[in-house]
Structure 1
Amino acid sequence: MTETTAEGFVRARRPEQREVRRQAILDAAEALLGELPMADISLRELSRRAGLATSNVLRYFESREAVFLELLARERGLWLDALPSELPPRPQGAESATYSVDVFARAYADSIARRPLLCEMASAMSSVLERNVSVEVVRLFKRAALADNRRLAAILADRVPGLGEAAALELASTVTVLVSGLWPLANPGPAVIEAIEDEDLHAAHVDFAGRLSRMTALLTDSLRR
């Protein structure tokens, strides 16, 4: 059942109707992030793109940041769904002796690099997205993030010989931190892009996937038994 207000807004009543409306708002946020920097996207612009009044968006999300936090959680879940098919299979028997951490690390880094939306939001999580939200929203997000980290660790432990449960958890969480730091360095603003075109500043270029792959390989090698 839906209810039409005096302003013409059709209020979703059933849980499935509310979920459809929530996903439509998240879709609008995702589309905008493909066009504008996150800092330039206001709640008003997000509401306009979703075809709703700002007050109606606030029926589903308490702030702009809450929308992006949930979009981050959605993108992370979609990545985890796809990750097993993007990593090399676990070697069997004698093949384990020739296992290449570098091959695993490159596949892992490439899987992340193919999802710029996930990287962009992960890099803004603590400095932007976890501000202007309530304690309860943060609690829900953190619980979901911890569950996703355990799911990620299980995938990694399944694919990397010698990587135990505790080590896989550490690898999963540490690579997340690496992504958050490397992404903005590899995707700077216009002034930085122009400046590092100078011949003596070429070393300042950051190849996101390449650097993440090397750091992941080093970390994985150190954590294997």
Structure 2
Amino acid sequence: MPNFKRARSEEQKRERAEEIKAAVDKLFQEHPYHTITWTVIADKLGLTRANLYQYFQTKEEIFLELCADKREIYYDALRTAIPKESGYSAEVMAEVWAGILNANTDHLHYSDILHTIIETNVSVDRLAVYKRGFYQSTYAISSWLGEQQGLSRQDSYDMFISIHYHAVGIHGILRWNPIIAAALEKESITPPKLDFRENLKSFIMMNLEHYAKKQQK
């Protein structure tokens, strides 16, 4: 990115930070996390490592902001696809929700490294800001969805989190990884086929039915 210029105002600094995030996001789409070093990021942008420190202190800080960005894109998509007064049955909601997750797998890709890598390598202050945004947004979207099925706020949150981490896990299994592919080839292993969207639809439906029955007790 040869036109990357030093920011001289707060607005320019925000713009530069967004450019850095966009570059890192592209790198993460194409390369494993551990190969994306500070030097790789600087080279991608045509910057020195010292230049990067004007905007972020570690690559994990960049990834943490990207995690938040991808989360909000996914949540906004859910609100658009499942309006508050949609009147969707549990089956229709499961179908639509699975489709939204299937269209937002980059959010799941980031979530896969969030707790074990990203959150453990940023400052407490940075993490506090992220956590505040996470809980505010997640309580809001889970209630948005759960209330349409007559669920309590707590059950809505529990269900949402269960579905999220199931999706993260299944996506992690299905996502191509060169090391895993080589290991499977070495042992002549062909993993069973799994339809990501259909798997999610079934899991979401199972959760909706479970929590609906719980409300009736």
TM (norm. structure 1) is 0.80
Identity %: 24
Report the equivalent of 2:151.
163
1:145-168, CA deviations, whole angstroms, 9 ceiling, x for partnerless residues?
11121221133135x321232221
Report the equivalent of 1:85.
80
Paired AA for residue 74 in structure 1: D
Report the equivalent of 1:4.
none
SS at match of 1:20: helix
Q: Residues 191 and 51 (structure 1 numbering): CA distance in 2 closer, same or farther, change over 3 Å? A: closer
Count matched residues: 208
Q: CA deviation at 1:34?
A: 2.3
C-alpha contact 2:167 2:200 (8 A) present in aligned 1 = yes
Does 1:175 pair with 2:163?
yes
Does 1:52 pair with 2:40?
no
1:73-117, CA deviations, whole angstroms, 9 ceiling, x for partnerless residues?
01111222222222377455xxxxxx6323211211221121222
Report the equivalent of 2:62.
67
1:1-225 correspondence runs (5 A)? 11-87=6-82, 90=85, 92=87, 100-158=89-147, 160-190=148-178, 192-193=180-181, 195=184, 201-203=190-192, 205-224=193-212, 225=215
- How many angstroms apart in 2 are the aligned matches of 1:167 and 1:130? 26
User: What 5-or-longer segments of structure 1 have no aligned partner?
Assistant: 1-8, 93-98
Q: Residues 166 and 59 (structure 1 numbering): CA distance in 2 closer, same or farther, change over 3 Å? A: same
Moved more, 147-156 or 183-192: 183-192
SS at match of 2:91: helix
1:192-211, CA deviations, whole angstroms, 9 ceiling, x for partnerless residues?
45738x998553x3332222
- How many angstroms apart in 1 are the aligned matches of 2:82 and 2:39? 40
Q: Residues 200 and 120 (structure 1 numbering): CA distance in 2 closer, same or farther, change over 3 Å? A: closer
Q: CA deviation at 1:53?
A: 1.8
Q: Residues 102 and 200 (structure 1 numbering): CA distance in 2 closer, same or farther, change over 3 Å? A: farther
- RMSD of aligned alpha carbons: 2.6
Paired AA for residue 107 in structure 1: V
Moved more, 174-183 or 115-124: 174-183
- How many angstroms apart in 1 are the aligned matches of 2:83 and 2:7? 44
C-alpha contact 2:64 2:118 (8 A) present in aligned 1 = yes
